[in-house]
Chains A and B, each alone.
Chain A
Amino acid sequence: MRREPPQTIGDYAPLLFPAAMLTIFFVVPFGTMIAVSFFQRQQGGFYTPAFVFDNYGRFLSAFFGGVLGFSLMMAIAVALCCVVLALPFTYMLTRMARSVQVVWLVALLSVLSLSEVIIGFAWSTLFSRTAGITNILVALGLMGEAKALTPSFAAVLTGMVYQAFPYTVLVLFPALVRLDPTLTEAARTLGASPLKAFFTVVVPALRNTIVATLIMVFIFALGSYLLPQLLGRPQHWTLSVLITDQAIYQSNMPFAAAMAVFLVLVTLGLVALTVIAGRKGEAA
């Protein structure tokens, strides 16, 4: 396919539609949010347009710092778990017969059709004392007494990994399909074990894909606000939960907006750091 830079303004026309959509549905709402984050909160009422820093001031405290730190840590943990699980899984999937691949992919896609609410309630039932999986362990004689596994950090992590796993596989799949099989074959003929070939050939060859996937899952997990409520204790609530609280229940839009802006900035900063670190690594 021949590629050449656009010559006339007309050549840019196909870009207009996505650009307009992006402006209307992303730039404008985000701009509104930034504006609202500087508005004056009316306690017990709503808000009035103004330009104050109070909302950001309230956020800068050890308490919210802790919540932000936890949210980031949780999102990183989810991203790592997802990639660690999905990479070998997808690698094996790409080497299976086409018909098997289709079945797996359809099953994974059907998980995407489940809402966060359903996933949350399903896991809270599975982890419950009265109807959960520990009852099976008791029946098998492996456990003395059924117990509740939720609310806990592990329960939240499980729910979020379950939710993000299909995305991870779908992002990794094309890159792994395109991976040249002769690479691993060469490694094997040179005497590497399958495991060694996977870690010394496949993983380094997919470095950029893996980093991109980590970032995508990280951002995806950062927005989760229902699963931490359904499966966790209050100390496992993410910043998104507190933003929802402020926006919906306290009608404190300015503070909610300020927290959201802060979260977006920190996220962008972390992503930028990752990308820069990746470039440096490549240059070295």
Chain B
Amino acid sequence: MNINSIKRRTLLGAGLAGASMLAMPAVLRAQDKSLKVGVYGGYFKDSFDKNIFPDFTKATGIAIESVAEPTGEAWLVQLEQAARAGQAPADVSMMSQVAMLKGQATELWTPLDMAKIKNASHLLDRFVNKYPDGRVAGVGAVSWYITLVTNTDVYKEAPTSWSAFWDSANADKLGLLALVSNSFLLEVTAKTFMGGTNALDTEEGILKAFEKLAEVKPNVRLWYRDEAQFEQALKSGEIPMGQYYHDVTGLAAADGHPVRSTFPKEGGIQDSGCWALSRASQKAEEAHIFIDYMSQPSIQATLSRKVGTSPTVKRESTDLTDKEFAAVSSDIEPIVPRYDLYQTKSDWLNQKWTELIVG
């Protein structure tokens, strides 16, 4: 298994991270100022430990204890359980949108004081998460794309549209994410065949999308929860097509593996991670300094260069070149997930989805 593969959204680390969390003494307690920061484990965390956190400690005197977190929703459950007991396994965590919104529903996140986060002015509006009454629950950390990926040995020509998933020539060749709330395939179906994600406004629309999506099933070899599983199969050509993260695919291609990531003409799926502060944390002061630091355009540019994520600040504010920006993003309008659905209809969607793929 490639150690470099980003495991940040994986399942397998979940139990391990939880267990080590309980066993780990607070190493940095002796230091005056410290902050526990949760970032997705694996390559992602390594990259932050190497490229970002030391400079932060140098600039502010706040020591960072980074915590490897499992996939967003699994981490949410752990944070929530811990907060109920008054504990914070991490003060600040990077949370994906669906997990962010679920945490908002239970007031898990301490509202942030934007007066203390001056650099937030650089952020794009859509990356600031707010409670219904306007308090800020989280601030954009990074954003990433899920794109159409292929093995270049098997597919000499890059596919141009998500509709390749429906092509009967690709029978038993696809690897797709196993959950409705992280694959965003309903949105992909709606954008590709039904004129846009607005088609999912009604239950009839959603059922139609499910119906269309059912046609993909014979082409799917693997519904994966664990990224490493698909990444390996994609590199070896065992499963030569699927949906995957643009950043990791780019890193794998840079390492010489025969893989490519394509933004289909309907757009890549854009998801993002927020910095959010657990309500059980006692480190609000340090957390605000940290989030402010991370929102600087120069730090966002560093993340794009080193980790391959897309910035959450306005592009003009960064010094990224056209080429650098194109490597982490695309001019094609992205498919933005219908996060609202995963709140209001989450159980219904989950049930229909499970019946679709298991049934």
Give the B-binding residues of A (Cβ under 8 A): 41-46, 58, 63, 67, 117, 121, 124, 128-131, 148, 151, 229-230, 233-235, 237, 242, 245, 247-253
Contacts and interface: CB of A to CB of B under 8 A. Distances in A.
Given A46-B106, A247-B77, A248-B77, A128 B236 contact: yes
Given A42-B105, A45-B106, A46-B106, A242 B343 contact: no
A63 B356 CA distance: 11
Contacts of B105: 42, 44-46
B1 A245 contact: no
Interface stretch (B109-117, B191-199, B221-229, B245-253): B221-229
A44 B181 CA distance: 12
A53 B347 CA distance: 16
A248 B11 contact: yes
Nearest to A70: B358
B327 to A, nearest CB: 29
A130 B357 contact: no
30 contacts: A42-B105, A43-B343, A43-B347, A44-B101, A45-B102, A45-B106, A46-B105, A58-B351, A63-B355, A63-B358, A67-B358, A121-B229, A130-B237, A131-B238, A151-B222, A229-B225, A230-B226, A235-B359, A245-B354, A247-B77, A248-B14, A248-B73, A248-B74, A249-B179, A250-B350, A251-B73, A251-B76, A251-B77, A251-B102, A253-B77
B80 A46 contact: yes
Contacts of A121: 1, 229
Contacts of A237: 358
B60 interface: no
A230 B77 contact: no
B346 interface: yes
Contact residues of B: prevailing secondary structure: helix
B82 to A, nearest CB: 12
A202 B355 CA distance: 47
Nearest to B235: A130
A49 B6 CA distance: 38
A82 B350 CA distance: 35
A131 B236 contact: yes
Contacts of B350: 245, 250, 252
Interface string B1-20: 10000000001101000000
B236 A249 contact: no
A250 B12 contact: no
Contacts of A242: 354, 358
Contacts of A229: 225-226
B56 interface: no
B236 A235 contact: no
Nearest to A128: B238
Contacts of B74: 248-249
A230 B358 contact: no
A117 B233 CA distance: 16
B234 to A, nearest CB: 11
Given A44-B342, A44-B343, A151 B358 contact: no
A43 B349 CA distance: 11
Contacts of A151: 221-222
A230 B355 CA distance: 19
Interface in B58-86: 71, 73-74, 76-77, 80
Contacts of A250: 73, 346-347, 350
B240 to A, nearest CB: 10
Contact of A130 (B181, B182, B236): B236
A72 to B, nearest CB: 16
B259 to A, nearest CB: 14
Most B-side CB within 10 Å, residue of A42, A43, A251: A251
A244 to B, nearest CB: 8
A63 B238 contact: no
The 4 A-B residue pairs whose C-beta atoms are closest, nearest first, are A45-B105, A44-B343, A234-B357, A234-B358
Contacts of A46: 80, 102, 105-106
Nearest to A131: B236
Contacts of B221: 148, 151
Contact of A43 (B229, B346, B354): B346
